Amino acid sequence: MSDPVPLFQAPGPAAASAGLSDVLAPCLPVVFCGLNPATSAVRDGHNFSSPSNRFWRVLHLSGFTPYLLRAEQERQILDYGCGITAFVSRATKGAAELGPEDYAFAAPEFKRKIEVFRPRKLAFLGKPAFAGLIKSQSFDWGRQAVTFGGAEVWVLPNPSGLNRSFSLLALVTEYTRLRANYD
């Protein structure tokens, strides 16, 4: 993979408070997009660092990585054609702490970021980020009929430890659907 470009930092107080870096490079096959960073991830300095978060395990089990990466190894995800970003850069303990004003503030810079990095696929982790972006709740899991910033859009279940409505097997099944359409 090519060397990563400098980290994207949106202007404004929300970006400054996040303290968590995107893991991006131009033209990646897929970028995984969380709603926003968890305060625990900001404290730890790595995306998806909570021991209860299943992101790294799901990526491995669905075939995106050949072995299980740890949050501290997050930059290695670029070697496998994947990136990580968040729709809203403001860290919170939970999604309920975000409001419509957070989505409205984040949307223009998020769109610019996606247009700059040009991933082929943009995979939203959970419905709230995509719903906040398109201002609609009417969509299913999986590939969407729209593109965003030139990227094909997918909506996958959130692997957060707070989201227990999806078992590990159900998560792996959904992520494997994306992996089967990876190239």
Domain boundaries, the chain: 27-180
Note the pLDDT tens digit of each residue in 104-141.
Answer: 888 999 999 999 999 999 999 999 889 888 888 889 99
The C-alpha atoms of residue 137 and residue 116 are separated, in whole angstroms, by 27
| pLDDT of 15 higher than 80 | no
Mean pLDDT for the chain overall: 86
Q: Which two tokens stand for residue 117?
A: 């990095």
- Please check the confidence at residue 61 and state whether its pLDDT lies above 80: yes
pLDDT at residue 19, rounded to an integer: 57
Q: Work out the burial of residue 135: count CB atoms within 10 Å of its CB; fewer than 13 is exposed, 13-18 middle, 19 or more buried.
A: exposed
Cross-strand bridge partners of residue 31: 83, 122
- Total-model pTM: 0.87
Which CATH code is given to the segment(s) 27-180? 3.40.470.10
